[in-house]
Structure 1
């Protein structure tokens, strides 16, 4: 179906002081459950075995209430440049960081859940104007998914990954980019995969931290390490994916808690940052607490706990089994991104032209926040490999 778009408008965030004061009041009045139970042998269960430990959450709530400054994040968004455009009657918010280099190439970055454009704000300058003059430079466009952040909230069903991918093509065309590169992880990786498969006339190539094999892949063709990956992923989806089932089947129900309680929202998101990042005890070993709270506060102030969860309802397990990506692809599998790791032999069945495959020693589901310097270098080198073989 055609994707109509309006004129692009400059967008500026100015959250009222009253909204921030209300958040502080709700945090001050929060009612927390009792401390998680432990076994008689206190070393038997990991600290996070039952979810976010009360002691950890209490500390983060206190800092959110009295130490965190949302206005710094607002200022950074203004520095980068924000815009909105109406696509299929839905306002789409996006960041746009233009490069000063004449050889810069358009690059689309797509986030996932429970992330946001906050994942990218610390890497945009280096992607646009790298310190290494030999590295590629990009005009970066980073949209907020429908129902996330300052994008509009769909009022009718249908905004799944296929429609979002088509909308992204429309967005890039409105920006004057009829041909572009694309990167994504998590849901952004699904959308990036669809972009490469459905729109090869627009997408020069892709880089992704997500790879999904077609059904029916044979484990016999894998080596021992790759079989371990498959086992880890199966364990993840069997024992650690209750959040996905809830959001895919009852997003409205969980949405009431996520929109009404900042502590409930915080715990829901913190649980995933802790479980999916490459850390020992909590995600703040590698991820900035302030940047994490930028992300959570963005969900809170825009009341998008329910609307963002609906991407699971719209798209969970819905990637077309016949989908094949023929544009060049660079794929990076971070070691602690268990739910997204896919053995190369299986990935190659869907991504038919893998020009670069990387398995870093460190990193998890949020590499731009966990290992930002490595992430940028890997993205630059991966896309350089893509551009070498693409037109």
Structure 2
């Protein structure tokens, strides 16, 4: 491994004018699907009228420069270069880093997933750094753009999977002077922070998850949980969660199978067609949230981060393939399953939101590790930090407050 520069440089988003003009030119040439009597039936996918409206706004009225300025003015951004064993000597990583004025603030890594980005931290950042009072914790927040996402660099070799992402995130925290820290994650952030807890348990002092995957109970290891499952001995909320999970597996997870098997093929559409990218992501923003009232500007800012990604929107799909095709693991999917195993070294906080894509019984989640905080919310979906920022922050404050595990953390 060669040496790499450990400098941290300030960063401001500055998409070239020509890139914006090219996007608008492509939007002007869009060929939309022919209208049918069911073109706006969400069961078939993204609604034609919605995509047409958003595409027209993206071309004619959406002001990226205004959105860009808001991101730059609201989120303190930086880049640094990080070496990844066996892959990159100097991978450029873009990240948000907001320090609290509180001397007792807790370093927290916020890890996004797909189709999310560093932008997901925008609503919770001021709440986390400020704290609610002396008895409530405050946080130094670090929110990276994962490699192949946002304004981080593209990776150059195959096999850059969850362990490598975990390595990047851990080394980033060390680079910023945080030898001990806590994590928060959903979607791929669940997998990556679980990997960090397994690989670096002396550094990761606790982990909070708002997306919880756990293996179903087995007769040998959990006979009582199997009986509970067989007889449906769950609360109404848990039964609704299992129904939501079954819906997603049957009707909402096709994208993951495609991205996990042949990511380059849909990648052509995402890289070349703004409307293809818009429809692919917008469907998830609608289906994975709890009737969140998306504004057109919110959607278009969200999707523009992919359209203007340094690595290209197609690069973001590769993590699905890498997670399902680890060369050193015999069975497909077993890497993901490995992060559902018990880890007794890192305390866990679990927040369940009813319209997430997987909402499992609490007894399943408790098989992941020592749960010190747990809450099932009545509203909210997959993008908790954006949909329900107050609720997510309240959970973090409770978990890491003086009445939670704050006294046990070794900062």
Q: Same fold (TM over 0.5)?
A: yes
- Match of 1:230, SS state, is helix
CA deviations on 1:86-136 (whole Å, 9 max, x unpaired) are: 222321110111111111111100000001011111221121113545421
| 8 A Cα contact 2:270 2:314, kept in partner | yes
Counterpart in the other structure of 2:284: 272
Question: Cα 1:219–1:71, aligned 2, differ >3 Å: closer, same or farther?
Answer: farther
- Alignment of 1:296 onto 2:303: yes
Counterpart in the other structure of 2:222: none
CA distance in 2, matches of 1:230, 1:2: 49
Counterpart in the other structure of 1:42: none
- Match of 2:42, SS state, is coil
- Alignment of 1:240 onto 2:258: no
Counterpart in the other structure of 1:158: 159
- Match of 1:206, SS state, is strand
Question: Cα 1:36–1:130, aligned 2, differ >3 Å: closer, same or farther?
Answer: farther
- Alignment of 1:64 onto 2:58: yes
CA distance in 2, matches of 1:4, 1:108: 22
Question: Cα 1:375–1:207, aligned 2, differ >3 Å: closer, same or farther?
Answer: same
- The gaps in structure 2 that reach 5 residues or longer are 84-88, 219-224, 325-332
Counterpart in the other structure of 2:44: 50
| 8 A Cα contact 2:205 2:409, kept in partner | yes
| 8 A Cα contact 1:85 1:91, kept in partner | yes
CA distance in 2, matches of 1:106, 1:135: 15
The equivalences for 1:13-92 within 5 A come to 13-38=13-38, 47-79=41-73, 80-88=75-83, 89=89, 90-92=91-93
The Cα of 1:315 is off from its aligned counterpart by: 1.2
- Alignment of 1:313 onto 2:321: yes
| 8 A Cα contact 1:118 1:294, kept in partner | no
The Cα of 1:320 is off from its aligned counterpart by: 4.8
The Cα of 1:346 is off from its aligned counterpart by: 1.3
- Match of 1:91, SS state, is strand
CA deviations on 1:277-327 (whole Å, 9 max, x unpaired) are: 001xxx4x2x34323221200100125321100110011432253743221
The runs of 4+ residues in structure 1 deviating greater than 4 Å are 1-5
CA distance in 2, matches of 1:97, 1:22: 33
CA deviations on 1:242-291 (whole Å, 9 max, x unpaired) are: 10011001110100000100000000000111111001xxx4x2x34323
| 8 A Cα contact 2:131 2:138, kept in partner | yes
Question: Cα 1:238–1:69, aligned 2, differ >3 Å: closer, same or farther?
Answer: same
The Cα of 1:235 is off from its aligned counterpart by: 3.5
| 8 A Cα contact 1:207 1:383, kept in partner | no
The Cα of 1:215 is off from its aligned counterpart by: 5.6
Q: Greater shift after overlay, 356-365 or 160-169?
A: 160-169
Counterpart in the other structure of 2:350: 331
Question: Cα 1:77–1:53, aligned 2, differ >3 Å: closer, same or farther?
Answer: closer
Match of 1:224 among 228, 234, 246: 234
The Cα of 1:376 is off from its aligned counterpart by: 2.0
Counterpart in the other structure of 1:190: 191
The Cα of 1:216 is off from its aligned counterpart by: 4.7
**CA-based RMSD:** 2.3
Question: Cα 1:214–1:177, aligned 2, differ >3 Å: closer, same or farther?
Answer: same
- Match of 2:109, SS state, is strand
- Match of 1:168, SS state, is helix
The Cα of 1:75 is off from its aligned counterpart by: 2.1
CA distance in 2, matches of 1:30, 1:135: 51
How many residue pairs were aligned?
A: 378
Counterpart in the other structure of 1:141: 142
Q: Greater shift after overlay, 138-147 or 189-198?
A: 189-198
CA distance in 2, matches of 1:24, 1:127: 37
CA distance in 2, matches of 1:206, 1:376: 14
Question: Cα 1:161–1:3, aligned 2, differ >3 Å: closer, same or farther?
Answer: farther
Give TM-score scaled by structure 1 length: 0.90
CA distance in 2, matches of 1:35, 1:388: 60
CA distance in 1, matches of 2:98, 2:297: 22
- Alignment of 1:359 onto 2:360: no
Q: Greater shift after overlay, 260-269 or 23-32?
A: 23-32
Give TM-score scaled by structure 2 length: 0.86
- Match of 2:206, SS state, is strand
The Cα of 1:374 is off from its aligned counterpart by: 1.9
- The gaps in structure 1 that reach 5 residues or longer are 40-45
The Cα of 1:373 is off from its aligned counterpart by: 2.0
